[in-house]
Structure 1
Amino acid sequence: MGVYELDGRKALVSGGGQGLGEGIARALARAGAAVMIGDINTETGKATAAALRDSGATAGFVELDVREDSSWEAAVGQTVSELGGFDILINNAGVELSALLVDLDPDDVRRMLEVNILGVGLGIKHAFRAMRPDGPAGAGGAVISMSSVAATIAFPGIAAYSATKSAVDRLTRVAAMESGKLGYGVRVNCLYPGLVATEMGVKLAQDVVELGLFPSVDEAIGGVVGLTPLGRLGEVADMADAAVFLASDAARFITGAALPVDGGMGM
């Protein structure tokens, strides 16, 4: 097996029913992994799992509300029982709600805190419990969480979102240290994706226009491209391939790292 292949690995992808999560799930499957799609949206989650099976992959679906400890416990348990193990967690589920700081809505901030920070923390918790030597999977593994280029730049209108994605970086580094010190055998890393034209990415462009920060969606996207040395938006495949790398043996000596996949925007 090549170092970038994932034959025999078993993965759970939170928010895997659409957008970046779906792209990562497909890339993991192409690399040989069996994939469980975890999503709060049962319709899209089941559809993605079915499409993966139609392509010849081993795949399943489990309803997952990342804000709930019991939901994570059940999702990880189903992953282990249905796939026969658990080696890879992709902490992808997230939400972005734009606002100027002078108009900050506490409820919107709490929602982002719960999904983007608590959700990632609970995912790491249950991955550790399953993957460590005394866990039901017990063979170690890899956790890859989605931070964002928003954690490294001062882009207007996304202060609270940026704060939550900065927290993902800190969770990653502390988790990597705990895993190493306690002998869990789990590598923990995160990605810093640049702006991708998924539903969430397009909505961000629309939001900053509505906030009066840009005259049009094209201008907003152009502003992002203008800040990006490689001169384009990111693509789902850019992020998905990086996730496969971090999950693979090619990254076997990498933990506690934050990998920018942003075309240089955050440097």
Structure 2
Amino acid sequence: MKKGIKMKFYNRKRTLLLVVFVLFLFFFFYPVTLVDEEDNNIRIFSTGLTKVIFYEDIGYSFIEKTIFFYAAIPFEKFALLNVQNGFLPRQKGDSLVQRQSDDSTAMVYFKSKNTLYNYDNFFYNEKWLKDWIVDSKDFLKNISEIDEPMYILYMDQGRSFQVLPSIYVVNSVKDLIHELSHYFFGYRVKTSSNDTWHEILAETNSLLFLREVLPKDYLTELELKKTGFYDEPYGQSVISFMERLDFDKEKIFDLERYILNNFDKLDDKSFANLVEIFFKQ
């Protein structure tokens, strides 16, 4: 009798230890994560091994890092953080302007968020950016309206980029057209990391914009693309696409509106088929 009771107790204890061990492994490799802000640091607290990609404005670089339990990332004005594994992190901070909703987006911190200028649903950090925003918004109406809050930031950095859906760091009005195009093609219509069609459309839109407002810059960009100055798909691939549709702005916008209204996700092969269909019309 006593032996049977001891055996049951031992089995329960072993089962409990096994459950605890499994839970430990789970939360170690798929951690619960808390991200907050203190002074000039983003602090990451985790139950285990956390893989992150972050960008901070001290080193002006994207860094991929594995964090064990805790790390602090210093920044001055602007930082973004993408937590790649585990449960979606809890996110806090006075400077937080965008939360990470899945592993394809990122949380963004901007120290001066309470002093941003505002035009319609656009928020921006330099007063003169309003002209760029007005021109870009009017041009992109040819595709569709942008109704969500958008943050346009001039950071005087070496490159422009977007953190979908709402954050756009830009150096020129051409770049603003390109990056905002990814709100449609990259966010509203999803793509994979191996596809390039969305980059071709974004770069095409920036060229069409230059053709309307800065024709000399447009001709310069055409020449640079033809001579291989840009890596693909930003060079000859863009020219080939525009040639296929006769450099016709209305044909290109018709194709873009069709994609936006009929697809949630698109790949390069399907895009090429669509181009052929519109070419034959």
TM-score (norm: length of structure 1): 0.26
Higher Cα Rg: structure 1 or 2? 2
Structure showing the higher strand proportion among its residues: 2
TM-score (norm: length of structure 2): 0.25
Structure showing the higher helix proportion among its residues: 1
